[in-house]
Amino acid sequence: MNPVRAFHYVYVLKSLKSNNWYTGCTSDLRKRFAEHNEGKSPYTKGRGPYELIYYEASLNKKDAFARERYLKTGMGKRYVNNRIKEYFKGALV
């Protein structure tokens, strides 16, 4: 029998206040999203509320953190823009 393996998530939030993006990585996406919106994260405190606009799941923590670093680059941001084109059609960015 295979043991249950935990996923590691790379996510992109958009501030509903400023439209700025925040990219992060966590093993508990729901809990981390709530922490951002409750002002419990020093990096995003006072900039919320946030909307979760994109996430990816990985079985390997190192892969997830490497992906986070990539998504923070210019090419990574373009990748996310291209992946969620339909979302941006209705939103002013």
Q: Could you tell me the pTM of the whole model?
A: 0.87
Q: Is it the case that residue 92 has pLDDT exceeding 90?
A: no
Kindly report the CATH number assigned to the domain that includes residue 46. Answer: 3.40.1440.10
Residue 27 domain flag: yes
Residue 68 domain flag: yes
Residue 75, judged by CB atoms within 10 A of its CB (0-12, 13-18, 19+), counts as exposed
Residue 16 domain flag: yes
The continuous run of DSSP H or E covering 62 comes out as helix 61-71
Residue 1 domain flag: no
Query: What is the extent of the structural domain holding 72?
Result: 8-89
Residue 67 domain flag: yes
Average pLDDT, the chain: 91
Q: What is the pLDDT of residues 26-57, one digit of tens each?
A: 999 999 999 999 999 998 999 989 999 999 99
- Tell me how many domains the chain contains: 1
